[in-house]
Amino acid sequence: MLHPPRSPAARTLRTRFTASLLALALVASACTDDGDPEDTQDDSTTSTDNVETTTTTDPPIILALTPSLGLVVDQCWAEIPEATTTTTTAPSTSIVTFEEPEPTAPETLPETVPTLPKPPTIAVVACEGTNNGQAFAGFCLTEDLESENDRLTGGPCDQPSDLEWPGDRAVRRAAARICLQRFEEFFDESYADSVLVAREFTPTEGVWQQGDRRVVCTVNNPDA
C-alpha cells in the first residue's frame, strides 16, 4: 500500500524527533560506562590510638597467721585487711503497751576488768611475693643497769625479768633506737643513707604483764 507523500513540515518534525531519540541513546550509553573509581579507604592503615596497659599485683602467699611478736628473723610479713561489717535495719514493729513492773533493788554489778590491747595479728608470707617487710633482728627489752636514767636496752629473751611496765612511749622509743642500731650492724650502712624503711613490732602492756618483752625489727624496700 502506498502512502501519500509527506509535507516538508512533517519531514522536519520527524527529523527532530529522530535526533532527540539519538541524543537520549547517547546519554544512556554514557551512564552505563565505568566512571572514575570511587575513593576507597586504605585498609592497610593501622590505628595509632594508645593502648592503655594495666599492671596487676599478685596477692601475697600466706603461709601462716601469727601475732606480730611471733615473727622470727628472715620471715616476711603482710598486713591482714580488716573484715568489713554490714548493718541491717530491723523491721518496724507495732507498739505494745504493758504494765510497768514494780521497782526492785539494784543488783551488784561485778567490777569491770579493763581489756588491754594485744599486738596485731599478721600473715607470714613468702618473701618472693608481695610483702610489707622482712624481719632482720629480734630481742627482749630489759633494764640497762649501766645507764643512770633507767634506759631500756636489748638483750636475750631467755633471761627472766621482773621489770615493770615502763609505758608505751618508753617501749616504742627504746625499740626504735635499738632497731636502728641493729640495722646498721646488719646491713653495714647508715639508716639515714639507706633506701630501706624500718618498722618495729613492740609488746603491749597486756603481753608485757604476761612476761613477753620481745621486739621484732623489720625492714622493707619501697622501691622494690
pLDDT of residue 46: 46
pTM of the model: 0.60
User: pLDDT digits over 163-191, tens only?
Assistant: 899 999 999 999 999 999 999 999 999 99
Give the separation between CA 157 and CA 141, rounded to whole angstroms.
8
pLDDT of residue 105: 56
Give the model's pLDDT for residue 204.
94
128-151 per-position pLDDT tens digit: 888 999 999 999 999 887 766 668
In sequence order, what DSSP letters do the residues of 115-144 get, joined into one string? PPP-PPEEEEE-TTS--SEEEEEEEEEEE-
Q: Is the per-residue pLDDT at 94 higher than 50?
A: no
In terms of Cα–Cα distance, which of 176, 172, 181, 174 is closest to 149?
Answer: 174
Three cell numbers written together for 23: 541524543
Lowest pLDDT segment from 47-56, 199-208, 213-222: 47-56
Which tops the pLDDT comparison, 100 or 141? 141
In contact, 136 and 189? CB cutoff 8 Å: no
Q: Interior CA angle at 39 toward 25 and 27, to 5°?
A: 5
What is the rounded distance in angstroms from the CA atom of residue 79 to the CA atom of residue 82? Answer: 9
Q: List pLDDT tens digits, range 67-82.
A: 888 999 999 999 886 5
Those residues whose C-beta lies under 8 Å from the C-beta of residue 67, and which sit 6 or more positions away, are: 118, 119, 120, 121, 122
